[in-house]
Amino acid sequence: MTQALEEKIAHLTRTVEDLSDVMAKQDSELRRLTSLVEHLAQRARVRESDGGGGIILGDERPPHY
């Protein structure tokens, strides 16, 4: 019985280590994607403040009317 418990503990320890590695990779990817989204949002704010863009939202009238 002791051997079975030791095997289960070893298996669970390995699983926890594997999951920790997965979480570390996901954290890295999440940080990278968050940085990218912040960069794109900043670009959109700059483009919006420049008055360019040419995107018509909702029922706004185009500038040539």
pLDDT in the model for residue 19: 98
pLDDT band at residue 62 using 50, 70 and 90 as cut-offs: low
CA 54 to chain centre: 28
Q: For residue 60, what pLDDT is reported? A: 67
The per-residue pLDDT for range 1-56, each reduced to its tens digit, is 999 999 999 999 999 999 999 999 999 999 999 999 999 999 999 988 887 555 65
Cβ neighbours of residue 62 closer than 8 Å, sequence gap 6 or more:
56
Rounded to whole angstroms, the Cα distance separating 37 from 45 reads 12
